[in-house]
Chain A
Amino acid sequence: MYRLALKMLFGDHAKYLMLISGIMFSTLLMAQGASLFCGIMSWTFATIRNARAEIWVADPKVERADDAKPLRDTDVNRVRSVAHVAWAAPLFTSTIQARLPDGSFKLIQLVGIDATTFAGAPHVILEGRLEDLRLPNTVIIDELGVERLSEGRDRPVRIGDMFEINDREARIVGICRAARSFTGGPYVYTTYDRAVQYAPQQRKMLSFILAAPQPGQEAVAVADEITRATGLKAFTERDFIWSTMWWYIKNTGIPINVGTLVLLGFVVGTVISGQTFYAFVHENTRNLGALKAMGTSTARLCTMLVLQSLAVGFIGYGLGLGIVAFLGMNLLRLGKVPFLMVWQVPAIVGVAVLLICVLSALLGITRIARLEAAIVFRG
């Protein structure tokens, strides 16, 4: 009977395509929206991901990675003196403008790392050597930097090319791979000492202190100890990522905008598939009545309907997710749109599609439950 149920569904091409389209479109909206949200959120903590430090120490009022409240340089030593801290290094981060040879300006994300330990340095160097940062006036730029800083040139920038940061020369000695920043500016790495020279002078310049626990020590415990001993705020990498994300969730319209898209996807899917399923049952009332008269129980008819609904949901979900993945891969290749499909996205969208299928099937089930087998004998 269940095979026949599927044949009944697949044989009604118009309804079948409508149902598949509804679920597919719904999946597309929900998965795309959720992946965009995750992508945007991943941009907000790009600086943390790029640095890969186990412990971040900041001013007690800091909530996110791109809102540094400067510390005193001496705070680095205070952190180093805390028990179970293996090492601590200064980090400078700031959004600043770079001047290109044609006179135009580009926003960059300047990162100054400790010249001795290179703590916070990019992990993937595509061209050049990290050690060359110790040479005078040198920087390493990321792949986005190659694109952005090449504007106005007749060829892409490469090792040896120069540009200006705050009227100071910056010579490219390497190209690295880095996660994209929320502000859209490319990451430009240099040493901490040089970074504070590039940036406009302030009384305090130290943005963060990166630290690591001694082997065998828990980062959480060491971070708590730093907080207690110094009066500064020490985060584990994970806590700092969540703190940054929560700031954006609470203080921007991103969740509402994306949430609206996801909700719209859910509503569209429910309405289209629910309405189509109801119409499918309505148009097959006499046939379903005949099946009931011939001895098919209401429970079995309902199970057949649930099976049809799940089949449509499964196919529509697969197609929708496939399209999102295809779009996502191409968006990522462009590198300009935030897109991150973590495993939770297909899982949650899958549950939502399941819910849509159940709701749609319920509309049909209410009709089947009320259906009298005797209807087939009425003219």
Chain B
Amino acid sequence: MVAPDSPSSTGPVAVRLTAVDKSFGEGESRTHVLKRTDFDARLGELLMLVGPSGCGKTTLLSILAGTLLADAGEISVLGHDLHRMSAGAVTRFRAKSLGFIFQQFNLIPTLTVAENVSVPLLIQGVSPRRAEKQSRELLELVGIAEKAGQRPAKLSGGQQQRVAIARALVHQPPLLVCDEPTSALDSENGHLVMEILRRIARQDNRTVIVVTHDPRIYGFADRMAEMEDGRILRVLGSPAEIAVAHKFN
């Protein structure tokens, strides 16, 4: 059992990628993006995936989220072997077990905040009324319940990202996949968003994987995997190690 507000870097493995290969293009223009990459993430931790642009972070994230097929390797996510599942089964698995937070929020501009949040529930066939009720509860959790009836364009960047977090959590997935969640936010909002994500990982015992370039938020990681040139260079196994390696307190 993981105690609230404490990191869990020794919990059961939620995501394990073993010797994963991925290339794009054909012939001379073929680019080898992932080279026999190994990676794992555990339940109850906030794991950051960092590295320079083009090192393969986004590709790795796409593969473990089941939105991109690997050329080779083993991909186990929450006990499911994605590599051996049919496309339809992977789609259903994503709908049920994964929450997504995107760099550009990807909120649908013509829907209200509450409707945007209810999308994952509607995908699973939950009735609109029940979905809307659950959406409002989540919006309360992220502190913007009063914005439920507004369109996303009326909200600030930080508020939009909180809507995106509510959307990612509304169907209570055990795994959250976040792509540069703070890159479009100022420092204050970035910290607010990361506080929420860390709380989600620790209190609810979920796995939160964050791809980021943003050193301002490194302090929120329980573990950090550093990537370069298609491989995981090293994994920093605790907040203390991360603080030492990246020189902050």
Contacts and interface: CB of A to CB of B under 8 A. Distances in A.
Interface of A: 1, 3-4, 7-8, 10-12, 284, 286-287, 289-297, 300, 372-374, 376-379
A290 B100 contact: yes
B119 A291 contact: yes
Interface size class of B (residues with CB under 8 A): 20 to 34
Nearest to B94: A295
Contacts, number: 82
A287 B115 contact: no
Contacts of A10: 110
Contacts of B65: 293, 377
Given A4-B119, A372-B67, A11 B110 contact: yes
A374 B108 contact: no
Nearest to B68: A374
Interface in B69-109: 88, 91-96, 98, 100, 102-104, 106, 108-109
B106 A295 contact: no
B216 to A, nearest CB: 19
B120 A294 contact: yes
Contacts of A294: 94-95, 98, 100, 119-120, 123
Interface string B58-69: 100110010110
B110 A293 contact: no
A293 B115 contact: no
Given A294-B119, A377-B58, A377-B62, A11 B109 contact: yes
The interface residues of chain A, by DSSP majority, are classed as helix
The 8 A-B residue pairs with the shortest CB-CB distance in the complex, in nearest-first order: A295-B95, A11-B110, A290-B106, A373-B67, A374-B62, A374-B67, A295-B94, A374-B68
A12 B94 contact: no
B104 A295 contact: no
A378 B123 CA distance: 23
B145 interface: no
B179 to A, nearest CB: 5
Nearest to B120: A294
B235 interface: no
Contact of B122 (A1, A292, A293): A1
B111 interface: yes
A296 B61 CA distance: 19
A1 B67 contact: no
Interface in B139-170: none
B12 interface: no
Contacts of A300: 123
B110 A295 contact: no
Given A290-B106, A293-B65, A4 B122 contact: yes
Given A293-B65, A293-B94, A294-B95, A376 B123 contact: no
B69 to A, nearest CB: 9
Contacts of A1: 122-123
Contacts of A373: 67-68, 94
A372 B24 CA distance: 14
A11 B116 CA distance: 13
A376 B122 contact: no
B128 interface: yes
Q: Which of A8, A289, A295, A296 has the most CB atoms of chain B within a 10 A radius of its CB?
A: A295
Nearest to A379: B103
B68 A287 contact: no
Contacts of B115: 4, 7
Q: Which of B67, B100, B104 has the most CB atoms of chain A within a 10 A radius of its CB?
A: B67
A376 B106 contact: yes
